[in-house]
Amino acid sequence: MSDPLRPGEEIPPLATEFLAAGLLLGPLCGAVTGAVAPLLARRFPERLGTAWTAGRLMLRGEVGDDPEIAARVMQLAYRTAHARASFLLERPFVHLSLAFWGLGAAGFGYYAFLAHAGGDAESTLFFALLTSLPLCMAAMTPIAAYNRFQARRILAGAE
């Protein structure tokens, strides 16, 4: 970095290499974590504690046999079902939010394509990263709606 550049010499852009490394290493790290985490959870369930067990049971729609864990499941279900803006996880709002996140991802993806076509590697990386945010939100919306559905099902079964 301290070497002066000769006239007419440019610094090679590293954004393309960073983007390629991120696109290759990101899914690889996610796949390794996704493969190892369930193995560790089955091997050492006592180390994960009651909160993890309660969360897993709530996702399945079950309460469990242990009274301590059942109390945590009920508490978690109540908090999930009665969250402040949980009405946004109803059917019309979920579809609207998925459309919103999809349009946002398409817009940022379009700008990333234009930057890539223009040869601007830094802007391509920037807009590619911005594209990933609405895609993640679009993936999390149905998951949150399913969690709320299971929480309401548990609370309805407890009445």
- Residue 122 CA to residue 116 CA, distance in Å, equals 9
- pLDDT of 131: 92
Mean pLDDT over all residues of the chain?
A: 83
Give the model's pLDDT for residue 1. 42
Tell me which of 65 and 6 has the higher pLDDT.
65
Q: Which of 36-40, 52-56, 97-101, 141-145 has the highest mean pLDDT?
A: 97-101
pLDDT tens digits for range 42-90: 777 677 778 888 888 888 888 888 888 889 999 999 998 888 887 788 8
The set of residues, in sequence order, having a beta carbon less than 8 Å from that of 115 and lying 6+ positions away, is: 123, 124, 126, 127
Quickly count: other Cβ atoms within 10 Å of residue 51's Cβ: 11
Look up residue 38 and give its amino acid: P
Which of these, 50, 45, 82, lies nearest to 63 by C-alpha position?
50
Q: What is the C-alpha separation between 149 and 60, in angstroms, rounded?
A: 11
Q: According to the model, what pLDDT value does residue 126 have?
A: 86
